[in-house]
């Protein structure tokens, strides 16, 4: 039987161990600082059936096609699919109407233009939702940042910062809200204990439904390029 390999071990001041399977089927372990490697390996062996089942589930999901930035291609924004339409004359580089409009002269730089637009929209919308829930809950972050994170939708720092991947702007608003609430709750409850989930549930009673949607659809919320990613 094929051995299950640990792709990465991330140590921190956390008190619990988490086994995380990424969308590209890598096993990442988040563990307390002094947890022995042999203990982690024994834990993986103990959970091997569960891990294999989850890996099979991930690998069975269709992978998104690489983007070519041509007319008719679909791009997600706030959970809705928009067709890319290249325009000869456009007031700016990119514009969202019934379609996602891209200036013809920017086609050679489409990758950077589309990504810059997504990041700009994420900065506005995700920050707006974060500030709204912060006022609602009283969980106030020191700063709100939009990041290049590829493996995590959001994170929170020990100094009160909250961070969100720009890719989250592709998800429906209720899913963005779930990730926002999740990270804000971590400002007052660092672990994933029952107390933490009770806090999330008190704000979003249907959080499990949103959590499942994100897990089931995360592969669609990305842009795979058909040429090298150097410079990203």
The token duo for 11 is 């140590």
- Is pTM beyond 0.85? Reply is no
pLDDT truncated to tens, each residue of the chain (232 aa)? 467 889 889 998 888 888 888 767 788 898 999 999 999 999 999 999 988 888 887 777 766 677 888 999 999 999 999 999 999 888 889 999 999 999 999 999 999 999 999 999 999 999 999 999 999 999 999 999 999 888 789 999 888 999 999 999 999 999 999 999 999 999 999 888 999 999 999 999 999 999 999 988 887 887 654 333 222 2
Give the Cα separation of 203 and 194 in Å (integer): 14
């Amino acid at each position: 039987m094929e051995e299950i390999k640990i792709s990465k071990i991330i140590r921190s001041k956390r008190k619990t161990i988490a086994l995380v399977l990424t969308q590209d089927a890598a096993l990442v372990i988040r563990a307390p600082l002094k947890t022995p490697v042999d203990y982690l390996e024994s834990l993986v062996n103990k959970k091997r059936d569960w891990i294999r089942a989850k890996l099979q589930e991930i690998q069975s999901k269709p992978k998104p096609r690489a983007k070519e930035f041509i007319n008719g291609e679909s791009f997600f924004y706030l959970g809705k699919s928009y067709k890319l339409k290249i325009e000869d004359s456009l007031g700016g580089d990119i514009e969202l109407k019934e379609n996602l409009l891209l200036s013809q002269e920017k086609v050679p730089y489409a990758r950077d233009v589309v990504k810059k637009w997504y990041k700009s929209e994420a900065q506005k919308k995700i920050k707006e939702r974060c500030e709204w829930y912060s006022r609602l809950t009283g969980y106030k972050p020191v700063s709100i940042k939009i990041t290049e994170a590829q493996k995590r939708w959001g994170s929170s720092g020990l100094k009160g910062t909250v961070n969100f991947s720009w890719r989250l702007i592709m998800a429906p608003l209720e899913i963005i809200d779930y990730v926002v609430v999740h990270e804000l709750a971590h400002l007052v409850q660092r672990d994933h204990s029952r107390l933490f989930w009770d806090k999330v549930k008190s704000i979003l009673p249907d959080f499990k439904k949103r959590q499942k949607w994100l897990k089931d659809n995360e592969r669609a919320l990305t842009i795979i390029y058909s040429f090298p990613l150097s410079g990203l």
